[in-house]
Chains A and B, each alone.
Chain A
Amino acid sequence: MTAILQALASGLALGAIYGLIALGFNITYATTKTFNFGQGAFLVPGSLVGVSLVLLSVGKPHFGNLSPAEMTFMAYTLATVASVVVVGLIGIALYYCAIKPFVGAAGLNWVLSTIGFGIILQNTALAIWGPASIAVPSPLGSGVYRIAGAGIRPHEVLIAAVAIAVMVGLDIVLRKTRLGKALRAVAFNPQAASIVGINVERIVIIAFVISSALAGLAGILIAPVTTASVFIGLGVALKAFSAAIVGGLTNPRGCMAGGFLLGIIEALVGLWRAEFREIAIFLLIIIVLVIRPAGLFGTKTVEKI
């Protein structure tokens, strides 16, 4: 029982990470029918930029290990902001280099161009930080909360709380604000959006900035769990992509729900047999897609790729 509770907490945190990245896939897919296949690489600067900033701020070189005392809550907050901003800006570069030349055109060139952009980004990070990983202390320390006998790591609670707050915030933005309504108008029909005076390209760029920033946020949030390194992103992004497909790529809430679903299943199955985690998840994905091709909460059929 306590083990299950513990696994649920980890699953919730992991699922929140998947959900954040999946939401990013949804936002650009809705507005452009494309998304960043190289999204995994965006977690890399997400974790490393923030961590290096903290290192530099305590007078260490940009690559090294941080002591728990150096990772104050303030330092982690600033690192998070920096990661989100930097990776958000990389999203603008992604748009101009890998999306704009191909969006709207027939074919799948954008698939390769976004993968390529991700590889370039990852290898740039490799040149800056090298292949070794940095152990990142959580600002909440390494102790555990005892809840009903289960040991729950405070950082997992932090991940879930931040991610849920961001998701709820974005959901409100999408439904209630002028920007959100414009995003949905572009998603509904770009030409119709343009003739009411919406600068469609600007909205699309904003979508890529949000999507990238979400990946950056995921990177810094997960760093204390996985460590920060050039190689953290790929597996996480693949799960997040699966979450988006399972939840329904066309539905932002579906994407978030898909994230939590996958995270929790992964943690629960892992409790039983760690090596069955991936098997269970991808079996589940296949079953869901056979029964509901547009995902659990999707509306339209997803484009065949």
Chain B
Amino acid sequence: MMLKIENLNVAYGAIQALRGISLEVGRGEVVTLIGGNGAGKSTLIRTIAGLVHPQSGEVIFEGQSIAGMRPHRAVALGIGHSPEGRLVFGDQSVRDNLALGAFSRDNPAEIDADIENGFRLFPRLRERQEQMAGTLSGGEQQMLAIARALMCRPKLLLLDEPSLGLAPLIVREVFEVIRSLKNQGMTILLVEQMANLALGVADRAYVLETGHITLQGTGVDLLKDPRVRAAYLGA
């Protein structure tokens, strides 16, 4: 297992956001976590990334306990994170955003090569490489956030709601890239409210409701599951 989460409890003050979550992501797997607003999806991602420290439970990445580790350490271990809301550095150029994504690395030639890879993945970013990230459209910012997360050469890629606020056409473009990353063997934990798209690309999936995992299975199985269809697919 690349990532193993055991009995994780996370709270913000009196608000219990995650209650006894257990979850696994295998090497080369795309796992998705679906659930409504406030279910605790981002909290789980942020805990893995080291932004939130759990009350109890284990987060094990490649056999090493990382619960409570500081975020830059998690990046150095190989956890790339495209956060909810993108959080691109608005006052810096697209190229500088990508270069900052490689902050944990130090071979300039390799970093330049990886920026090129990012541009191949998202050709629109190449056109806008000298533009300030804050002037990009929402879709372009999302692409930049994903490309930036890839710049640490992650072993595990965390994607928090990449479809948030984007037009359907752009969402499709972003998901095509997620699929091509999957085909290249990238391990991905994808958090989404757009359940149909996420389940379509995922090998396995978990359903999160108010801090509990209520269902799990293969992406295909959950797509057919009547409870999922009723709650998340509007069927």
Contacts and interface: CB of A to CB of B under 8 A. Distances in A.
Interface of A: 178, 181-182, 184-185, 188-189, 191-200
A199 B102 CA distance: 13
B75 A191 contact: no
A189 B87 contact: yes
Nearest to A191: B51
B92 A192 contact: no
A192 B76 contact: no
Contact of A197 (B75, B88, B90): B75
Given A196-B101, A196-B103, A188 B71 contact: no
A200 B72 contact: yes
B83 interface: yes
Contact of A192 (B70, B83, B96, B102): B83
Given A197-B72, A197-B75, A197-B152, A191 B104 contact: no
B133 to A, nearest CB: 10
A18 B51 CA distance: 38
B51 A195 contact: yes
A141 to B, nearest CB: 45
Given A196-B75, A197-B72, A188 B91 contact: yes
B70 A191 contact: no
B23 interface: no
A234 to B, nearest CB: 34
B181 interface: no
Contacts of B72: 194, 197-200
Interface in B53-101: 70-72, 75-76, 81, 83, 87-92, 96, 99-101
Contacts of A197: 72, 75-76, 101-104, 152
Interface of B: 49-51, 70-72, 75-76, 81, 83, 87-92, 96, 99-104, 148-149, 151-152
Main SS of the interface on chain B? Answer: loop
Contact of B92 (A185, A191, A194, A200): A185
A185 B92 CA distance: 8
* B72, B88, B102, B151 pick with most chain A CB within 10 angstroms: B72
Main SS of the interface on chain A? Answer: helix
17 contacts: A178-B103, A181-B99, A182-B103, A184-B91, A189-B89, A192-B83, A192-B89, A195-B49, A195-B51, A195-B71, A195-B75, A195-B87, A196-B75, A196-B100, A196-B103, A196-B151, A196-B152
Nearest to A299: B91
A198 B100 contact: yes
Contact of B100 (A181, A199, A200): A181
Nearest to B134: A188
Contacts of A178: 99, 103
Contacts of B51: 191, 194-195
Contacts of A181: 92, 96, 99-100
A196 B145 CA distance: 10
A197 B98 CA distance: 12
A195 B70 CA distance: 9
B70 A182 contact: no
B103 to A, nearest CB: 4
Contacts of B151: 196
A237 B131 CA distance: 38
A184 B92 contact: yes
A18 B87 CA distance: 34
Contacts of B104: 196-197
